[in-house]
Amino acid sequence: MADVRPLKAVRYNGKSDLSNLVTQPYDKISPELKETYKSRDSNNLVNVLLPDEKEGKTKYQISGEVFHEWLEKGILKRDETPAFYPYRQTFEVNGETHQRSGFVGLVKVEPYSKKVIFPHEKTLSGPKADRIALLKEGRVHYGKIFLLYKDDGKSQKVIDEAMKENTIVDFKDDFEVKNELWNLTDKNKIHELNAAMADKQLFIADGHHRYETSLAYAQENPNDISAQYTMAMFVNINSPLIVLPTHRVVRGVENYTPAALSGKLEKYFDVSTVAGIDETINATKNSEGITIGIFDGENYLVAKLKDKNIMNEFCAEHSEAWRSLDVAVLHTLIIEKCLGITQDKVAKESAVSYHRKPEGAVKLVESGKANCAFFLKATSPAQVCEVALNGEVMPQKSTDFYPKLLSGLTMYALD
């Protein structure tokens, strides 16, 4: 089902200090981080990933020109032999060390209707217009789509064997994540990996905008074979994966009071008060049922759904898998029904903001800049795939796979 192939990646030359050159994915780069990247090295990828306009040219023209200039000067080099690139990241979360591995290669882009590649998020037109303008000028993919697949052990075996060899990349990034890369060029092993992936369905974990940009460009250029593929990182869903929860802060609710919120919550939830943010997070994370943590501006609360069938009344058009998501319950029963915030306001982020750190969410409420904050347990990779297989998408910011895949380790030039 999936057409997965090796590539001759474009990479920074072997003399380069990659820690000063590669970046986080484009949509994770704040204006401050962009300036930090630019100050490190004039050849930092941010100069082509998020270029500036100058000399009467568009930023997209500048990006394309700089990329090809780097190729001509040898700052970037294309590998001579097609390869898959095993990629391993070693990192810490809450004091525990974790590893995530997979491999980088090409995948043929397919419309979702073909049920080969499945999304779980809605996309916005603005970011896609920006990325396709960049792609048209440079004809290069700088970042990787993060794809999950269900492995029977055959693919992972090939990857694990390749990672016993010497690395071609080994360094720590800004988040103290150890990034290691190998190149798998053995034709027999490449064929083995091709064959192992041929019957797989693929699930987008991260990179929906980039995938849909690649698909749109492929459809605009049906006779361009190289454009029919994009670069991806393939990760076994059965391997250890870390998904972080994304917490919500709500602002601008008319006539909001903690007492009014509590009164409305009791229609759907059993609500109890806890001592503080740590107790709230632990109760949410360790609960077996659907449980939402809350800071209402005065108290920390734990709200446990009374009956999961309540969701049938409001979301009958959705599957049971979707209705069973903590994040779906939060958005449907609390944000929409209890607080009266429309889906349009959520989509525009005019009333809801998103936070990885719970302490930051609490501070916004305590400062009076927001009404209340909500805390979730992480969505599991299995839930992502189950919802995606049903042809559904999750509420915004339902997943945060950690760590992010670095841009600039490998690049896919279409020419």
* Residue 75, in any domain of the structure: yes
Does 51 lie in the same domain as 146? yes
Range with the lowest mean pLDDT among 123-132, 138-147, 176-185? 123-132
Does 39 lie in the same domain as 131? yes
pLDDT, residue 188, reads: 96
Cα–Cα nearest to 173, from 250, 68, 92 = 92
Q: What would the mean pLDDT of 111-131 be, rounded to a whole number? A: 92
Find out whether 96 and 169 touch, Cβ atoms under 8 Å.
Answer: no
Which structural domain range is residue 324 located in? 245-377
Q: What would the mean pLDDT of 269-276 be, rounded to a whole number? A: 95
* Residue 172, in any domain of the structure: yes
**Cα–Cα distance between 23 and 33 in angstroms, integer?**
9
pLDDT, residue 140, reads: 98
323: CATH: 3.30.1760
The pLDDT of residue 195 is above 90: yes
Does 229 lie in the same domain as 314? no
CA 246 to chain centroid: 12
Does 283 lie in the same domain as 190? no
pLDDT, residue 124, reads: 79
* Residue 198, in any domain of the structure: yes
Does 294 lie in the same domain as 406? no
* Residue 73, in any domain of the structure: yes
Count of domains for the chain: 2
Does 77 lie in the same domain as 137? yes
Radius of gyration of the chain (CA): 23
The pLDDT of residue 76 is above 80: yes
Helix (H) or strand (E) holding 66: helix 59-73
* Residue 391, in any domain of the structure: no
Does 71 lie in the same domain as 207? yes
The pLDDT of residue 346 is above 90: no
Find out whether 13 and 78 touch, Cβ atoms under 8 Å.
Answer: no
pLDDT, residue 139, reads: 97
Q: What would the mean pLDDT of 201-208 be, rounded to a whole number? A: 96
Find out whether 36 and 173 touch, Cβ atoms under 8 Å.
Answer: no
**Cα–Cα distance between 278 and 276 in angstroms, integer?**
6
pLDDT, residue 350, reads: 85
Share of the chain above pLDDT 70, in %: 100
Does 325 lie in the same domain as 225? no
* Residue 120, in any domain of the structure: yes
Cα–Cα nearest to 292, from 303, 307, 283 = 303
Position of tokens 């200090």?
17
Q: What would the mean pLDDT of 244-265 be, rounded to a whole number? A: 95
The pLDDT of residue 55 is above 80: no
Find out whether 236 and 355 touch, Cβ atoms under 8 Å.
Answer: no
pLDDT, residue 353, reads: 92
* Residue 153, in any domain of the structure: yes
- Long-range residue pairs from 134-137, CB within 8 A, at least 24 positions apart, any chain: 134/51, 134/60, 134/63, 135/213, 135/214, 135/217, 136/60, 136/217, 137/58, 137/60, 137/61, 137/63, 137/64
Mean pLDDT of the chain: 94
Does 289 lie in the same domain as 371? yes
Does 108 lie in the same domain as 148? yes
Find out whether 231 and 7 touch, Cβ atoms under 8 Å.
Answer: yes
* Residue 389, in any domain of the structure: no
Does 159 lie in the same domain as 123? yes
Provide the whole-model pTM: 0.92
Q: Tell which wins on pLDDT, 247 or 15.
A: 247
Does 228 lie in the same domain as 272? no
